[in-house]
Amino acid sequence: MDIFIRNKKYTGPVQSMIFDWAGTAVDHGCIGPAKVFVEVFAEKDVAVSIKDARKFMGLAKKDHIRGMCELPEVSRAWQARFNRLPGESDVDMLYERTAVQMVDTIVHHSSPIDGVVETMGELRKMGIKIGSSTGYVREMMDVLVPAAKEKGYHPDAVVCSSDVPSGRPYPWMCYANATLLETFPMEAMVKVGDTISDIEEGLNAGMWTVGITRTGNELGLTENEVNAMDPDELDLKLTEIKNRFRAAGAHYVLARTADILPVIEEINTKLKSGELPFNG
């Protein structure tokens, strides 16, 4: 590893990439976790919509549940059922059930998204290391990682929200990946994900960021459902998602992770000329 001293601009190539899991690398549409959140609230006779379940995707799972409980419609439903608003003890209880169900569910949603395995192979040929970050905790990843590996997807580093002080949008998982992958400086890294919190995580870490629209949580559809959509309706929805990612600060927005190779070449060109992901 060449030593880089922070007294000049980094002009080398991309060294490492950090990918989210569900909706970015595996589980087209981020179906597994969304389903679990709906079912956990249903166990308490509180109905939540799949839309509400997706609003906080990408955060650490307890933070996700806390956010859902603070939604006006969810708070009203909880109060109607229990004559009180949900409190922190309720968040803890819901999280415990989520952890159990998530472990049982995500193993069935571990298939790599089309083109991801081949793309990882091309990135490795370029000398790029593959890291990952996720809102899942270690117990969940202990199930998901080997299941995905059997199907061909195996990043070089796996960091989850329970490994660091706080999950997204804090940058700690990206920093942990940088340590494990021995990558420095942070502008030599690219964060790829399908949620706003993924983009915020990468920006906070000083990395290039790429948002994924077609396969991720924002659209929230399986591959078959996407293929069955009216093309004009699909284009409209993808444009709306792209605009939200751009507004959040994403440097690039792509339909699929498999589309990323040309973006890496473009970032390499920018780095060579001294451009940084946090210029202006």
Residues tagged active-site: 20, 61
- Helical ranges in 83-180 per DSSP H: 88-106, 116-125, 138-150, 172-180
Which DSSP string do the residues of 152-202 spell out, in sequence order?
T---S--EEGGGSSS-TTSSHHHHHHHHHTT--SGGGEEEEESSHHHHHHH
Tell me the CA end-to-end span of the chain in Å, nearest whole number.
29
With contact defined as beta carbons under 8 Å apart, do 113 and 28 qualify?
yes
Q: Write the DSSP symbol of residue 222.
A: -
CA distance 43 to 94: 9
Q: How far apart are CA 214 and CA 29, in angstroms?
A: 8
Q: Rg of the chain's alpha carbons, rounded to an integer?
A: 19
Nearest Cα to Cα of residue 65 among 32, 90, 44, 46: 90
Distance CA 95, CA 13 (A): 41
For 266, the 3-state DSSP assignment is helix
> In the block, which residue shows the tokens 């939200």?
244
10 Å Cβ neighbour count for 44? Answer: 16
Residue type, 206: G
3-state secondary structure of 53: helix
